[in-house]
A = this chain, B = another copy of it.
Amino acid sequence: MTDTEGLRPNERKVALEPAADATLRFIGTIETPWRDRADCPRQGRLDGPECRLVLDPVWHDALTGLEDYEMIEVLYWLDRSRRDLIRQSPKHDGRTFGTFALRSPVRPNPIGTSMVKLLRIENGTLHVRGLDCLDGTPLIDIKPERCAFSPKAAAKPGDSRD
């Protein structure tokens, strides 16, 4: 049940000026089996279907060395999400949670993050498992997973000596 503004019972929104603090550049597109939000799983699974991160050609050379990692972090832009909800009712039952206590795509900056398993890289396309986003979702970043990654630069004060 939603009101005329698309709010569920007890959900709260805020009035905001247009976002204008920084700008993003999409670096590619994510291909998944899911064409509709109702089809997407709530959370990706490492044994889920194979998906593809199709990188724009200008960035292909920036993948050099990524093939050494089995797990990578993917950031993407949830381009169909509203951005003005403070409280949300995920079960439509009137019980609400603060937006930051949820991993809902509805948030002030709708950036999704996933840890995925890297299967292979072919011609600038990464084949992965573990995503849960819609087909066509814009890609914004790829990083080695932090647990697997050892900094390449020399240690600095404050770094672990382990």
Residues on A lying within 8 angstroms of B by beta carbon are 12, 14, 16, 18-27, 34, 38-43, 45, 48, 58-59, 61-66, 68-69, 73, 75, 77, 79, 83, 86-87, 90-91, 96-103, 107-109, 111, 113-115, 132, 138, 140-144, 146, 149, 151-160
- Kindly identify which residue among B20, B59, B96, B114 contacts A108, using a CB–CB cutoff of 8 Å: B59
One of B41, B79, B101, B154 near A157 (C-beta < 8 A) = B41
Nearest B residue to A126, CB-CB: B100
Shortest distance from the beta carbon of A77 to any chain B beta carbon, whole Å = 5
- Given A45-B160, A144-B102, A156-B42, A24 and B25 touching (CB < 8 A)? no
Copies assembled: 2
Check if A61 sits within 8 Å of B39, measured CB to CB: no
Asked, given contacts A24-B24, A79-B22, A97-B65, whether A103 binds B156 with beta carbons under 8 Å apart, the answer is no
Contacts of A18 in B (CB 8 A): 23
A100 touches B157 (CB 8 A): no
For A115, the chain B residues whose CB sits under 8 A away are 146
Which B residue's beta carbon lies closest to that of A145?
A: B103
User: Which residue of chain B lies nearest to A33 when distances are taken between CB atoms in the complex?
Assistant: B158
Report if A113-B156 is in contact (Cβ < 8 Å); known contacts: A59-B86, A64-B97.
no
Taking CB atoms, residues of chain B closer than 8 Å to A157 are 39, 41
